[in-house]
Amino acid sequence: MEKYTADDFRESIRALESAISKCEKAKIKLKDGSPQKKWVNRQLEAFYVALAFIKKSKKKYVREECAAALGTLELSIQKCKKMLTRFIEPGSHKTLLERRRKAFEIAVELIKREAEMNDTLKTIATRYSCRGYTDEEVGDADLAAIAEAGLQAPSGMNRQNWHIVVVKNKALIAEMESEGMRVLSEFPDKAIYNRIMSRGGKLFYNASRVALIAVKEAFPKGAELIDLGAVAQNMALAATSLGVDNCYCGLAVFCFAGSKADEFRRKLKFPEGYGCGLGVLLGYAKEPSAPHAPDKEKVTVIE
Amino acid sequence: MEKYTADDFRESIRALESAISKCEKAKIKLKDGSPQKKWVNRQLEAFYVALAFIKKSKKKYVREECAAALGTLELSIQKCKKMLTRFIEPGSHKTLLERRRKAFEIAVELIKREAEMNDTLKTIATRYSCRGYTDEEVGDADLAAIAEAGLQAPSGMNRQNWHIVVVKNKALIAEMESEGMRVLSEFPDKAIYNRIMSRGGKLFYNASRVALIAVKEAFPKGAELIDLGAVAQNMALAATSLGVDNCYCGLAVFCFAGSKADEFRRKLKFPEGYGCGLGVLLGYAKEPSAPHAPDKEKVTVIE
């Protein structure tokens, strides 16, 4: 669904912030009530809405504000296009204008999406795997809602062969992380280890909270993994809906692949017979990112 | 999350419908502007809201209507309780009043939930496995949105080893169903076959649309099943958010466990190397039901 890249979002944020700063400066110089001042004010309102949408910031605008912003942004796009026709040669001014136009276009699409989809579809479409977290901690109420959402997943024959362990203890998280990295470093295939090292060497990407989903083997063997995916996705979507960034962490199983497995299982209070199935990282993104583009070729309809 | 059973919902619907019919009759006889008529009108408005919530009907009431209904329902509960104290002996009138009170209480809780949770959390909490469908067909726009939601699932290392096949062809659905039941009937363990037979003998519960999620083996083996669960859950939640009832159908794999496997794979246009992972049934419920109660013991927090 998401056709924009993380770079598109970053560039758009820069373009909008520069447009806002320019408008804020212009505003001071313009006479109250003048058409110029009115236009600058309209633009400012629209640019702040656009920035909020692109940053996926939690501040919500009501439908009317979005509609007004949409109109102003579409007008701004036209103005940009008109100005762009005046440039024959490339140059920094032209590049700036093109970036600004693109930022407006992205914002227009995001605002339109917001209006057309229901909140669940929006959550599904905007969830992405966050691989860099700030130190900000996720609150207990959000953690409880996320875990409860996990429990609300379906399971084959309602077996519920799962157990969710929410780890808030930072020392334990660090201990698991260092054990996981140690095991990975000794793994014959170094590809995964090198990938994590190139991303900063942190298995949990500095997430302040790590939820582990423990599972028990089901019949037929492997069926518990389908249930596991459903639990994890409920948790990821609940988190996204609450503004909590998140990421599946399949590599969490490596923390349990070395000599500390039993110690961790005990410290994490896994029920007897349960092993680590998957981790779900929870926190707040260092910078907003975009979901992977889904491959629409992967749907067939049989009439 | 859901502490009420399907029976609770059924009984509450009956109790509310009888209360509504009584009020509608009383209304005609009462003088306009009289306090009695005003109260009956208030009750009627509240009972219709309550019925919509319990039936999970798509008609939406605005916040103000819900708040008004909440007040009236809470007053009605008090009145019921007071009347109930007058009955010493059990009897049909007492039973009726008790059911009515329970219906009001359920409605109050459902309305309060609506106010407290965001739409995604609500969708997660209200999704349930629907095992009986009417003949009504799910529209193409909804099917497209549901399939697209499936594609928006995360997958380990973004491998997207999946393919979604939405089957609208009823002859093919019937053919798969009869093959699946045939294979199940020859399976040494008759438990599954007998369970389906006791539920009406239909593998797909008369769903007008069956989506099949085909998967290709990933590395490590089984990891594709976690992805599969995430795809299925995105589809189930997208469907629920659109008012489309749904159910995982793990038994769909049995359609591919007999001699017709290759024929079905060809007819369903599975990509080379892909096999059936899971079915997702889509349609409209014959009667509303409730999700399984999640087992809250299955969450541990490590401080």
How high is the pLDDT of residue A59? 63
| Beta carbons of B148 and A296 less than 8 Å apart | yes
The residue type of A52 is: A
| Beta carbons of B125 and A152 less than 8 Å apart | yes
Residues of B in contact with A141 (CB under 8 A): none
Residues of A in contact with B151 (CB under 8 A): 1, 294-296, 298-299
Å from B101 to nearest chain A CA?
27
- Chain segment B106-153, per-residue pLDDT in tens: 998 888 777 677 889 989 988 999 999 999 999 998 999 999 999 999
Query: In the structure encoding, which two tokens stand for residue A167, read together?
Result: 């780890």
Nearest to B291 by CA among B245, B227, B249: B245
| Beta carbons of B158 and A292 less than 8 Å apart | yes
Higher pLDDT, B33 or A116: B33
Residues of B in contact with A231 (CB under 8 A): 229
- Residue-range domains of chain A with CATH: 6-116 (1.20.1270), 140-283 (3.40.109.10)
Higher pLDDT, A16 or B219: A16
pLDDT tops 80 at residue B33: yes
**Nearest CB to B228 within list A123, A226, A238:** A226
Å from B69 to nearest chain A CA?
24
Residues of chain B with pLDDT > 90, as a percent, come to: 66
E strand or H helix that includes residue B241:
helix B223-241
C-alpha–C-alpha distance, residues B131 and A204, integer Å = 40
Residues of A in contact with B1 (CB under 8 A): 148, 151-152
Please provide the DSSP assignment of B50-95 as one string: HHHHHTT-S----HHHHHHHHHHHHHHHHHHHHHHHT--S--HHHH
| Beta carbons of B296 and A231 less than 8 Å apart | no
How high is the pLDDT of residue B118? 82
List, run by run, the mean pLDDT of 10-residue segments along chain A (303 residues): 80 95 93 87 92 79 75 86 86 91 92 79 90 94 94 94 97 97 93 92 96 94 95 97 94 96 98 97 87 89 96
Is the whole model's pTM more than 0.90, yes or no? no
How high is the pLDDT of residue A1? 39
Mean pLDDT, range B242-258, rounded to an integer: 95
pLDDT tops 70 at residue B1: no
CA distances from A285 to A51, A129, A137, B28 (A): 16, 10, 11, 61
| Beta carbons of A298 and B162 less than 8 Å apart | yes
Axis crossing angle, helix A63-85 with helix A92-116, rounded to the nearest 10: 150
- Chain segment B67-113, per-residue pLDDT in tens: 778 878 988 898 898 888 888 888 888 999 999 999 999 998 888 77
Nearest to A287 by CA among A11, A14, A20, A10: A10
Closest chain B residue by Cα to residue A168? B303
**Alpha-helical segments (H) within chain A:** 6-29, 35-54, 63-85, 92-116, 119-126, 140-151, 170-186, 191-198, 223-241, 261-267
How high is the pLDDT of residue B182? 96
